[in-house]
Amino acid sequence: TSFSLHGPIINEKMGVGLSILNERIGVLQRNLIYGDYAYRLKVQDKGTLALGIMAGVDMQVNRFSELKVSDNGSVDPQLVQNSPNIIAPNLGTGVYYHTKSFYGGFSIPRLIDNQMNFSGGGAVKTSKVQFNKMTYYFTAGNLFTLNDELKLRANAMLKYVAGAPMQVDIGANLLIKDVFWTGLSFRSGSAIALLLGYQVNRQLLINYSYDYGVNQIQKYSQGSHEFVMSYLFAYKGKKVVTPRYF
């Protein structure tokens, strides 16, 4: 489950935001809370360049007590208690350029490599800045106007981390009458997704996606469903720009 809120301040020269993520994978439960700040620069008359930074904390705990270790009800003494709740700060940064029909960006969401070692009922945290452990993202997209009623949005993202295969995400969405979205996306070595969207009104957008795995996980999963609602708050005396293509 994730929640994000962001918007411009000081005559749209700056932007601030808040991101909250809660996820659970097996016994691991993580909560991430980050604040975002961006400074925006006008590039000629058509483009905007934003320089951003994010800061926050990662909180995680392993709920070992919820594990069922045997069918007869016996208890493993090493798994009676949950691990301590670990709080680790982190930073991220990025740059983003966009016009009305194009965007491109580069980001490093995590600058600090936090390692957790759980043993003997305790936990040891080590934090280092290591460039070879950082994950780098490159992203770009463009909007093509086909006719008065149809637009095509194409996007791509590259994910790179040392010692691992480069991951590529590509996608295309068809926008019908600035109201309905439909499209497909593909993530190399991972999944293919069906995308649907509906612009309910000038401020509310509802999206749905179905991801189907194309790797070994597909043997154990029939895919995942995701619903996203985006609401654009209007400011007094300002018009709501819709739809938001990027």
Pair 224, 200: CB distance under 8 Å: no
What percentage of residues in the chain have a pLDDT greater than 70? Answer: 87
- pLDDT, tens digit, 9 for 90 and up, residues 55-74: 999 988 877 777 776 677 66
- Give the mean model confidence (pLDDT) for residues 150-176: 94
pLDDT at 17 over 90: yes
Strand intervals (E) in the chain: 2-9, 14-25, 28-43, 47-62, 86-98, 102-108, 113-119, 122-128, 136-145, 150-160, 167-176, 180-187, 191-199, 204-213, 224-231
Strand partners, 224: 211
Measured distance between the N- and C-terminal CA atoms of the chain, rounded to whole angstroms: 22
61 vs 175 pLDDT, higher one: 175
- Give the mean model confidence (pLDDT) for residues 110-114: 89
The predicted structure's pLDDT at residue 61: 83
pLDDT at 117 over 90: no
The predicted structure's pLDDT at residue 197: 95
Q: Confidence class of residue 79 from pLDDT cuts 50, 70 and 90? A: low
- Give the mean model confidence (pLDDT) for residues 193-200: 94
The predicted structure's pLDDT at residue 16: 94
